[in-house]
Amino acid sequence: MKKEEVDRCQIQEWYPKFKSVSIRTITHRLPESFVEYLLDDSGPFIPPISVSNEDALPNRIHNPIELELKIKESIEILGGAVFPKLNWSSPKDSAWISTSGTLHCTSFSEIVLLLRSSDSLVHDLCHAYDSCREKTLSPSFSLALRKCYSSLLPEMEFRCFVWGHH
């Protein structure tokens, strides 16, 4: 497999081309420090301190303020509920840990909880190019926030592959 083929499967690559026939999405580039935080497995999960102190507890890890504010704004723009996805995958394996049992998130803390709890996303963060012929550096990572629709059932989702630009 070629690196370019893997890259073309990233949501930030294909979404602009298929925006008119896809779920509304806002993408944010993740700072390296936040990616390191997502991968940190050194102890119990402690959500970052909230900018608005909604859920502040002592000894929390501080998050990039700009990222939290952008995510909160995106949640509002997208109608108050989103489901998160990194470059390639969503944290579907961590839905069990959310209060709703779904990927629907209404706050920054809920998004972080799903991202930190997902083994699927560790693959995106650490092993995305393992099957590529060329050895490559890790990509920059993005968080895609997709608008939630209550009528959209996970068992009704399907994938569509476009071949030959048709």
What digits encode the pLDDT tens for the residues 3-19?
Answer: 888 888 999 999 999 99
pLDDT tens, 81-137?
999 999 999 999 999 999 888 999 999 999 999 999 999 999 889 888 888 888 776
Comparison of pLDDT for 34 and 75, the residue scoring more: 75
Comparison of pLDDT for 105 and 46, the residue scoring more: 105
Tokens linked to 97: 């840990």
Residue 139 lies in a domain: yes
The pTM of the whole model exceeds 0.85: no
Number of domains the chain is built from = 1
Domain that holds residue 19: 3-156
C-alpha count within 13 angstroms, C-beta hemisphere, residue 115? 31
Residue 166 lies in a domain: no
User: What is residue 141's predicted lDDT score, i.e. its pLDDT?
Assistant: 94
Query: What region, left, alpha or beta, does residue 84 occupy, with left being phi > 0 and alpha being psi -120 to 50 degrees?
Result: beta
Comparison of pLDDT for 135 and 33, the residue scoring more: 33
Residue 143 lies in a domain: yes
Comparison of pLDDT for 161 and 26, the residue scoring more: 26
Residue 56 lies in a domain: yes
Residue 7 lies in a domain: yes
> In this structure, how many other beta carbons lie within 10 angstroms of the beta carbon of residue 40?
12
Q: Name the CA radius of gyration of the chain, rounded.
A: 16
Residue 90 lies in a domain: yes
**Which are the contacts of 11, defined by CB distance < 8 A and separation ≥ 6?**
25, 27, 85, 87, 88, 142, 144
